[in-house]
Amino acid sequence: MLTKKITAVIYGIICLIPLSSCIEKDLYQAPETKSVDTYFGYTTSSNCNVDLSYDFKNYQVVFELYAKNPLSEDENGNLIKTEEEPVYRGSTDKNGAFNGDISIPSFLTELYLYSDFIGTISPIKIPIVNGKISFDQDTFKQNLKSTNNKIRSITESNYEYPDKYKILGDWTKIGCPTYLSPVTTEIENQLLYDIREVFIKPGGSAKWKIFIHNM
């Protein structure tokens, strides 16, 4: 008789184990998952419209946009490219124009436009206005010319040549000699590509005879 009671108790305990497990499962509730917006009251990225025009003909330009100036000055006064990664890298069409939307960090208020292609002015700091940046190289150059800013040549010891010494002519703010003809002479796009290949890419396939022929 005692054996039967013990056996019944054991069976009862075994039957209660699954029931206890079900009760525990019912009592457990997964923690509430909060969205990112609950923790942050702002977005980490935003769209920016980019409108660029280098005003070239049959000359495609590769450009980069940076959050910081991609160039820095070393101890010898040389400008060198930093290891800063661009927020965007793209290329213009065959006429040097680009228009499109890109995604950038939302905290940025300005971007630096950079290109190592010959004929481009770099870097250019462009403010972000109403979610857009715009740059027209011809307009930029005309605005600089209208300011009539000129600088004289100076030595390494910061000695400035007096105006009466005509060692070098005046230069505009963009580094263009003021004594050149105001009429712009167009350079063939293939020559620009060849020059860039020689100076940018060591061992480039472009031959020096190309430049000798065009001089």
pLDDT tens-digit map of 93-140:
999 999 999 999 999 999 999 998 988 988 999 999 999 999 999 998
CA distance 53 to 98: 6
Q: What is the pLDDT of residue 126?
A: 95
Run of H or E including 136: strand 132-136
Q: What is the CATH number of the domain that holds 113?
A: 2.60.40
Q: Where are the alpha helices (DSSP H) in 62-174?
A: 137-146
Q: What is the pLDDT of residue 215?
A: 41
Assigned domain for 81 exists:
yes
Q: What is the pLDDT of residue 77?
A: 75
CA distance 215 to 197: 18
Q: What is the pLDDT of residue 152?
A: 47
92: helix, strand or coil: coil
pLDDT at 28 over 50: no
pLDDT at 150 over 60: no
Mean pLDDT in the chain?
74
pLDDT at 143 over 90: no
Q: Band the pLDDT of 38: cuts 50, 70, 90.
A: very low
CA dist 32 → 25, 35, 40, 131, 150 (Å)? 17, 10, 17, 35, 66
Pairing state between β 97-105 and 71-73: unpaired
The structure's pTM equals: 0.56
Q: What is the pLDDT of residue 53?
A: 95
Q: What is the pLDDT of residue 63?
A: 95
55: alpha, beta or left? (left if phi > 0; alpha if psi -120 to 50): left
Assigned domain for 3 exists:
no
CA distance 122 to 174: 10
Q: What are phi and psi of 177, to 5 degrees?
A: -60, 135
Assigned domain for 60 exists:
yes
CA distance 64 to 89: 4
pLDDT tens-digit map of 75-99:
877 888 889 999 999 999 999 999 9
What tokens appear for 23 in the block?
């009760």
Domain assignment of residue 73, given as a range: 44-146
Q: How many domains does the chain have?
A: 1
Q: Provide the percentage of residues in the chain whose pLDDT is more than 70.
A: 59
The residue among 50, 52, 56 whose CA lies nearest residue 193 is: 56
Assigned domain for 84 exists:
yes
Q: Tell me the chain's radius of gyration from C-alpha atoms.
A: 34
> Which residue bears the tokens 């509430």?
32
Assigned domain for 140 exists:
yes
